[in-house]
Amino acid sequence: MLSAFIRLRNQILVFLACSLFFVFLALRLAVPINLTAVDIGRHVKNGELIVKGEKDLLFKNYYSFTSPEYPFINHHWLFGVLAYMIWKAWDFAGVQCVYIALCLLGLFFFLRAALLRGHGAVVFLCVSLALPLLWDRREIRPEGLSIFLMGLYFYVLTKLSLGQIRPGWAFILLPFMQVVWVNSHIFFFMGPLLAALFLWEGAARNCSVCVRHLLPLLLILLLVNLINPSGLAGALTPLNIFKGFGYRLAENQNVFFMIRRFTNPTYFYFLFTVLFLFLGIGLACFRRESKVNWPFIILSFFIALAGIKAIRLMMPFGFFFVVMGSFFWGQVEGKVTPRLQTTIRPWIFVVAIMIGAANFVFFTQPALGVGQIRRGFHDDAH
């Protein structure tokens, strides 16, 4: 009787925390669009021109007055087409709603993947801590699609590595989504990278079934990256994306550079979450030789260093923090006695909800709404 009550209590706490955090994220992402300061208008126009048969957009510096013939690999052309189709049907409000939905779905898949490897209390604590980073990039950009796909890949690969889905589903779904990804956003390299890390993790667990499935899947994901208008050059674009800028973009600057020039609390909060993640890694691995941890340690260092190097990557770090923080802090929680775990888990849930609510109140936004900007609204900038 008591165990049934505890299970019901935990289910209610999980549902409450989950609903609250998703509402918080949706509200913070719902900021009116200032078309004079963001890129979504260009993406929609790109999509319109491509649909009408303008192929130069795929290979040339189309909008340049002085160098229109300069070669350019348009690695996000499909996002423009999708944005244009949504805009044509539902205007900018529809485009923004789809962007918010993609971010929410990304969080859903990362959260589900985290729950497969850790207890709900620790998972929701990590979600509550990550919230200010999850809504850091309110502007509608192609990385919204990447956030969704990274979450989807992590969830499917976790299920596959744990033997909870049929391999055929992964072999159908992920290569198809990889074709979409390689034509929509520069983060497409994360698909094969995640497959490689899960392959490494499966080999570390001596899981021959995982290796047998994940190795061919990795090779397929690498090959389908060639299915883009620029072929091999398009597949190798991530290696050259930061080259050739004629001026410094704020979003590509490192967090310490931005801290010296702007008083944005998100930068300090990002560094706090990085330290929290590394503390969890240290405590989880203390006096423990675990080959299984190394793939996720490498992933954690990669996404943390990426966020430090370019502030535009703090938001993706936040989504990965949900699952990586849960993975390592879940191991820390697992080192205490079962009786103590039963005692502290409800309190962790309560603390998670309180932190999430505090973050929602502290990190304010100037306006709420979807669609184009209304007169008198000024968005906060990095």
Residue 241 CA to residue 235 CA, distance in Å, equals 12
- Contact at 8 Å (CB) between 122 and 330? yes
End-to-end CA distance of the chain: 53
More confidently predicted of 175 and 248: 175
**Half-sphere exposure in the Cβ direction for 298 (13 Å, CA):** 11
Q: Could you tell me which of 256, 245, 242, 236 has the C-alpha nearest to residue 305?
A: 256
The H or E element spanning position 349 is helix 338-362
Phi-psi region at 133: left, alpha or beta (left = phi > 0; alpha = psi -120 to 50): alpha
Whole-number Å distance between alpha carbons of 308 and 293: 22
Q: What is the distance between the alpha carbons of residues 156 and 210, in angstroms, rounded to a whole number? A: 13
* Burial degree of 59 (CB within 10 A; 0-12, 13-18, 19+): middle
Phi, psi of 185 (to 5 degrees): -160, 150
Q: 282: part of which helix (H) or strand (E)?
A: helix 265-285
- Render pLDDT for 98-112 as a digit per residue (tens, 0 to 9): 999 999 999 999 999
Confidence band for 44, pLDDT divided at 50, 70 and 90: very high
pLDDT at 114 over 60: yes
For 259-301, write each residue's pLDDT tens digit.
998 888 999 999 999 999 999 999 988 756 677 789 999 999 9
Region label for 319, one of left (φ > 0), alpha (ψ between -120 and 50) or beta (otherwise): alpha
What token pair was written down for 19?
Answer: 């609903």
User: Residue 305 in contact with residue 317, Cβ under 8 Å?
Assistant: no
Longest CA–CA separation in the chain, Å: 77
Between the CA of residue 225 and those of 57, 174, 193, what are the distances in Å?
20, 12, 12
Rounded to two decimals, what is the model's pTM?
0.92
Give the sign of the dihedral formed by CA 293, CA 266, CA 104, CA 181: negative
Tell me the mean pLDDT in the region 220-242. Answer: 91
Residue 159 pLDDT: 95
Q: Which tens digit of pLDDT belongs to each residue from 64-109?
A: 878 888 888 899 999 999 999 999 999 999 999 999 999 999 999 9
Question: Whose CA is closest to 132, among 364, 359, 309?
Answer: 359
Residue 88 CA to its chain's centroid (Å): 27
- CA distances, 196 to each of 159, 179, 219 (Å): 15, 18, 9
The whole-number average pLDDT for the span 256-260 is 92
pLDDT of 378 above 50? no
CB 322 within 8 A of CB 123: yes
What sign for the dihedral angle of Cα 336, 341, 346, 347?
A: negative
Q: What mean pLDDT comes out for the span 214-218?
A: 96
Query: Which pLDDT value is given to residue 380?
Result: 46
> Is the model more confident about 347 or about 148?
148
CA distances from residue 271 to 62, 138, 356 in whole angstroms, order as listed: 39, 20, 18
> Would you say residue 255 has pLDDT above 60?
yes
Token digits of residue 374: 């209304």
Give the alpha-carbon dihedral of 99, 100, 104, 107, to 10 degrees.
70
Q: Is the model more confident about 354 or about 120?
A: 354
- H helices of 68-182, in order, are 77-117, 120-134, 143-161, 167-182
Q: Enter the tokens of residue 51.
A: 């649909």
Q: How many helices (H) and strands (E) does the chain have?
A: 15, 0
pLDDT, residue 101, reads: 97
The answer to whether residue 371 scores a pLDDT higher than 50 is yes
Instruction: Report the C-alpha gap between 328 and 282 in whole angstroms.
Output: 9
